[in-house]
Every structure is written in structure tokens, then in C-alpha cells.
Amino acid sequence: PLSGVSVSAQPPGGQVALGDLLVLSCAVATGTGPLSFSWHRGGSATPLGTGPRLELHVGDEDSGHYQCRATNGDSTAESPPVQVTVL
């Protein structure tokens, strides 16, 4: 099973100026097989993107909690939420 899903943010701490680029990267500590990723904000079921990286030019509406969900077909794991603050 998958475990140890984590998200790192650039800029660090998830504090990003309005209009600047936010890059979130998802990593999986353990798990095998072809991995697929989806990105979610605030518990929304609709993915913001797929793939191990999410790049956003942030707007007023983009503050909130972001999570990465990883799946290998047999198992799904979610990262802890990362708080993003638009300054």
C-alpha cells in the first residue's frame, strides 16, 4: 500500500504574492506500481490538476488548504493538507 504522501511548496511555507507562481510537489515515501496523482483544494472532489507537480499563478481565490492524492490502482493515500496564503 501507499504511504508517506507529502507535499512541498515553493515558495516555502505556501506564502505567495498575488499573481506569483506557486509550485506544489507531491512525493510518495513507499509504494510500488505506476503512480497517478490528483490535486485538491479545500476537500473539493474536482481535481485542480494531475501529475506530481501543480503550478498556479495565484489569484484572490486561491488561498486555502491543498492536498495531493496518490494512487497506484490498488491503494490510495492523501497528503496532509498544506496551507497556502495569498498575500
User: CATH number for the 3-86 domain, one of 2.60.40.10, 3.40.50.700, 3.40.710.10, 3.40.50.720?
Assistant: 2.60.40.10
85 CB neighbour count, 10 Å cutoff:
12
- Domain spans in the chain, listed from the N-terminal domain onward: 3-86
**pTM to 2 decimal places:** 0.93
27-77 tens-digit pLDDT: 999 987 899 999 999 989 999 999 999 999 999 999 999 999 999 988 999
